[in-house]
A and B are shown apart, each in its own frame.
Chain A
Amino acid sequence: SQKIEQNSEALNIQEGKTATLTCNYTNYSPAYLQWYRQDPGRGPVFLLLIRENEKEKRKERLKVTFDTTLKQSLFHITASQPADSATYLCALEVVDKIIFGKGTRLHILP
C-alpha cells in the first residue's frame, strides 16, 4: 500500500537558521506533492504545490524540492523565525484521494 513518512516527529532549530523537513513516500509515483502548515486547534493552511516535472519551487523564505527517483521531497524555511513554529504536513494524491503524512512539529528557538 502507499505510504508517506515524515521522518521527524519534532525538530528544534535556532532562530535565523534554515529548517529542513523531509517527506518520503513509497509504492507510488505522485504527479503532485503539497506542503501545508497547521497550528494547534486549526485547519491546515496550504503553502506550496510541486509537480513531478519540477525539481524545485520557491515562495518567499520557503523552498520545496521534489526528487522522484529518491521518492522524497524536502521543505526548507530559510532565516527561520519563532512565528514559523508549527506542524508541517506533506500530502500527495493517490488515485482519487489525498494522503497526508503525520507531520513534523517545528520549534524555532529564539
Chain B
Amino acid sequence: DAGVTQSPTHLIKTRGQQVTLRCSPISGHKSVSWYQQVLGQGPQFIFQYYEKEERGRGNFPDRFSARQFPNYSSELNVNALLLGDSALYLCASSRSPGQGANEQFFGPGTRLTVL
C-alpha cells in the first residue's frame, strides 16, 4: 500500500505570496493532521481534520487554513508568507481522530523556503 504522499516536495516563494500544500492519506485513513517543523525543533501541530471537519487547531495565525476533501485528501494554505514560515510541512494520517491513541503515519514533507 502507498504511504502518505505530499506535494510538492520543495517550494520556493517570496514574502507576501500564498502557497497551497497537498496531502493524500493512506487508503482507509479518515484523519489528516498538519505540522510545521523548523530545523532543530519538533513538529508543531497546525490542524487536524476528520471526516472533512476541523477537529483541532494549534497556535498559528489566521493566515494558515486547511480543508479536507470527500476523498480525505487535504490542502494546507498559507497566505501573506513571512520569512519565518520557512519550514518542513508534514502531513500525517491515522484511522481515527484520537491522535494520542492512534499511530500517525507521516508523509515525507514539503520543504518551503520563503525569500
Contacts and interface: CB of A to CB of B under 8 A. Distances in A.
Interface of A: 30-34, 41-46, 49, 89, 91-93, 95-103
Contact of A93 (B44, B90, B100, B106): B100
B103 interface: yes
B100 A102 contact: no
A96 B48 contact: yes
Contact of A97 (B58, B90, B103, B107): B58
Contacts of B48: 96-97
A97 B47 CA distance: 8
Contacts, number: 65
A34 B100 contact: yes
Nearest to B100: A93
The 8 closest A-B pairs by CB, nearest first: A93-B100, A43-B106, A100-B42, A96-B56, A32-B100, A97-B45, A46-B103, A98-B99
Contacts of B12: none
A92 B100 contact: yes
Given A34-B104, A100-B35, 16 more contacts: A31-B101, A32-B101, A34-B103, A42-B108, A42-B109, A43-B4, A43-B92, A43-B106, A43-B109, A44-B106, A46-B105, A96-B55, A97-B48, A99-B45, A100-B43, A102-B41
B90 A98 contact: no
A102 B42 contact: yes
Interface residues of B, number: 27
Contacts of A103: 41-42
B42 A30 contact: no
Interface in B68-94: 90, 92
A32 B40 CA distance: 24
B22 to A, nearest CB: 15
B100 A30 contact: yes
Contacts of B56: 95-97
Interface in B32-73: 33, 35, 40-45, 48, 55-58
* Most chain A CB neighbours (cut-off 10 Å) among B33, B42, B101, B106: B42
A98 B100 contact: yes
